[in-house]
Every structure is written in structure tokens, then in C-alpha cells.
Amino acid sequence: MIRENEALLNRLNIATDLAVLFLSVFFSYGIRFYIFNAASETHLLLSAYMLFVLALVPFYYLVLSTFDLINVFTSRSFSEEIVKLIQANTVMAGIITAILFALKWNLLSRWVMVQYFFISTLLLIGKHWLIDRLRRTGYHKKTLIILGSGDSAKDYLETIRAQKGYVYDYLGYISGKAQLDGDYLGGYDRLFEVLNERKPNELICALDISEASYLEQIMSDCERTGTKISIIPFCYRYIPSCPSIDQIDRIPLINIRKIPLDNYANAFLKRAMDFLGSLFLMIFLSPVLLATAIGVKISSPGPVIFKQERVGLNKELFMMYKFRSMVVNDQSNTAWSTNEDPRKTKFGAFIRKFSIDELPQLYNVLKGDMSLVGPRPELPYFVKSFQNSVPLYMVKHQVKPGITGLAQVKGYRGDTSIPKRVEWDIHYIENWSLLLDIKILFQTVFKGLRNEEVLPAGEKKEK
């Protein structure tokens, strides 16, 4: 129910944001042509402006998603929200300008578009301020009691306290031991009495596996008092965010990991987008590819293209291509690249900073070794190392690796946390959709291209 309510409120949030944009057009048009202009001047009808904004709705959705402005339940402050709103609207202004320039369409009034930018920014800030006020006053507030005091209960309590978007009134907990933050309401034998007295909206059952024998009594007490109960499974750490449940007669079976790309139709759609997208990008970026190849050749001795064996789908090895960004060395298959790696050339550091060195991987995508979006592939040497030291690391090899991915747009690229990167990779694998791929590609343009690479003080010569 939490997921359903969150999804509904997020849809309402994006719908009202888009409604604000159309309202901004109406106000901008009225100010320009009915307040500051003679009525006799010829101009496009309001409907033309409305149709133009309607055509921009997919771009608005992607921009708002990129800046994480769709989710109502957010932990950031309102001041941070304002900054993101201004950034998102500025990006949209750039997109609108680019579209008008590309189409050479000068029929739209520039003053209307300028006013539209400021009015829409102010109205969006006002709308999000209203949501922030409603959230803080607790318009969806609920009272809850936690059942249990072990690791599951502690994890749940820490999680809801970290989520500023969820407004709740924690009444306390019931457990065999008093070892959890909050009011201790007694043991399991007092559950029926406590539910009648406190009347919580929801009971969160977070029992440890050793306390499973209490479940029958707990379910009975909840049914007799009409209390809604949500159960955190004992094995919750191993269950994905969107589990798939099969059923044999009356026995439910939870599939620990459902991969949407195992579906033939989904796999075909993704492959079609990869093939057409990589082909288009190779043609469109051909001047950049040529200029980079020349720069690599001039900057240091050695081949232009750096070839390296990586681990791909189903742990199969493939040859991945990059523009060479380092001097030729014998550590390329075992040494981890860092921000201040002395092996990097000055030109190499530059192309790595803007991820230009990754562009030859478009050929890998065209061949079918990689995808435009997916977990980044790693060297066999590091895969063997991470296999035993990083939980769930090998799950990423159940889909094709990508040039960019969810972990990368979330900031986990290069010399960053491997466990966090795996966490986002698995989230992507379990929640894949074509729209998610498009969103990640869009976010890559604004957030994932620039790296934190450091220009080396001097180039290391090959010995």
C-alpha cells in the first residue's frame, strides 16, 4: 500500500507540475498581448503556444526526472528543492531555445517565452512549497506500533526516521525485551490490550525468526481488533524491491530475483534501441571520434584504440574498446585507475574528464557485446576479487554491461564505492524498463558525462 500510495502521489505531483506549465503559458500570453501590447497587432493564437508546450511534455518529464523532482517523498530540504527547480527550468529553457533555433521558427514571441520562464519557475516553486507545507503538517500522517526489537525492527525504525517525506507518529514497540528506541509497551501477551488502547493505524511486524511461534497469536489479535498489519519477512535482506510471487495451490513462492530482460519482448526492444542508437551516435559523433583519434595519436606513442578484456553477460569475456588515455604500460589488466593516476596523459585526462574515451564502446554496442545502458563491465582480475568480497556482485552479469548506467548517473563511477555501485546496478536490473533506459541516457548528458579526473602534472614515459 505504501508503494501504491507513493506511486499515486508521484503521478499527481508530475501532473500538477505539467498543469502549472500550461497555466504559465496562459499568463505569459495574456501579459504580453493583452496588457503590454495593442490588441490590433497580429500574433499567433494562444492555442499555438499551448500545442508547442504540449509537444514539450516528454522533455519536461525527462528533465524533472533527471533532477529528481517527481518523487513527493524526498529527504532533501525545501531550499535544495528550489535550487533543483531553477536548474530544471533553466535546462528546459535551453532545450526550448535549441528546438526553436533548429526549426528556425521565429513565429513565437520571444517576450512570451522569457515571461514564461520566470512565471513557470515561480509557480513551480509555489506549488512545491505547498506540498512541503502539507507534508510537514502531516496530511498523510499515520500512527504505528512496531512488533519486535531485533535487527529487522531496528532497520525499519532507522529507515522511516531517515525519510523526511514520511510523516508518522511512532507510538512505541512490543517485544519480549526492551531493547529498541521508543516507548516499551510490554510483551507479546499484551498485544491485544495495547491495540485496543492505542488504536494504531498500522502494526509493523518485525519479528526475528526465533520469534516465529508468536505469529498465530499476533494475527489473531490483529483480526479481533481490526488492526492493519504489515509483515517484514525474516529474509527481507535477500528479497528484491519488486519481488515476483508465484503460487502453487495455497503456497506462495517468492522469486528472489525477477529480471525483466529475461522476457523476449523486452530483450528485443532493448536490442533494437541499442542498435539504432549506437548507429546514430557513431554517425552523429564522427567528427568528435576523428578529432579524438588524432589527439590520442599526437599526445603519446602507442595505438589510438585501447583494447581490454572485460566480463560481460553470463560471465562471458569480450574485448572492450576505448580511446587510449594512458601511456602504454604493463599494469593495464591489474591496476585500478584512480583520479591522480600517473599513467594518464594530459590529453587522456581531458577525454576521461568528459567520458570521451568511452565513445569507441558504441562499436561494442553495435556488435551486441554491450548495451547503451547497463552495469559497467569490469576486468576479470577484479571480478575474481570482488566475487567473494562484495555481496551480490556477480548478479550484474545477468544482463549486458553498458556504456552508462544507473550507478554512474547516481555518482558512483571511477574510484568510488563498489558496494554502492552494485546496489544501484541491481536496482536497475530488477526495475528495468525502456523508459528507465531513456531517463538514464538523458541524465547521463546532464550528470554523467563529466568526471572528477585530475590532469597529471607530467606524463609518465614508457620504459
- C-alpha 396/C-alpha 303 separation (Å) is 31
Segment (H or E) for 171: strand 168-174
In terms of Cα–Cα distance, which of 302, 283, 260 is closest to 428?
260
| Cα 258–Cα 262–Cα 267 angle in degrees, nearest 5 | 135
Phi, psi of 184 (to 5 degrees): -85, 120
Would the pLDDT of 248 be above 60? yes
Which grid coordinates are listed for 412? 558512483
Render pLDDT for 129-141 as a digit per residue (tens, 0 to 9). 888 777 666 555 6
Would the pLDDT of 328 be above 80? no
Which grid coordinates are listed for 324? 587510449
Would the pLDDT of 42 be above 70? no
- C-alpha 270/C-alpha 371 separation (Å) is 8
Render pLDDT for 361-418 as a digit per residue (tens, 0 to 9). 999 999 999 999 999 999 998 898 898 888 888 989 999 999 999 998 888 877 778 8
Whether this prediction's pTM lies above 0.75 is answered by no
pLDDT at res. 40: 47
pLDDT at res. 273: 94
Q: Across all residues in the chain, what is the average pLDDT? A: 83
The amino acid at residue 142 is K
- C-alpha 85/C-alpha 365 separation (Å) is 34
Instruction: Read off the pLDDT band of 3 (50, 70, 90).
Output: low
Phi, psi of 212 (to 5 degrees): -60, -25
Which grid coordinates are listed for 88? 530544471
Between 459 and 408, residue with greater pLDDT? 408
- C-alpha 160/C-alpha 339 separation (Å) is 36
Distance of alpha carbon 12 from its chain centroid, rounded?
Answer: 19
Residue 19: Cβ within 10 Å count:
12
Query: What three-state secondary structure class fits 340?
Result: coil
Residues with Cβ within 8 Å of 56's Cβ and at least 6 positions away in sequence, in order, are 92, 95, 96, 99
Instruction: Read off the pLDDT band of 459 (50, 70, 90).
Output: very low
- Residue 77, judged by CB atoms within 10 A of its CB (0-12, 13-18, 19+), counts as exposed
Give bridge partners of residue 203 from the DSSP assignment.
145, 229
Distances (CA, A) of 442 to 65, 77, 118, 267, 396: 9, 25, 24, 21, 22
Query: What three-state secondary structure class fits 141?
Result: coil
Residue 67: Cβ within 10 Å count:
20
Distance of alpha carbon 243 from its chain centroid, rounded?
Answer: 19
pLDDT at res. 138: 59
Which grid coordinates are listed for 445? 548528458
Which grid coordinates are listed for 99? 528546438
Q: What is the dihedral sign for C-alpha 385, 390, 392, 397?
A: negative
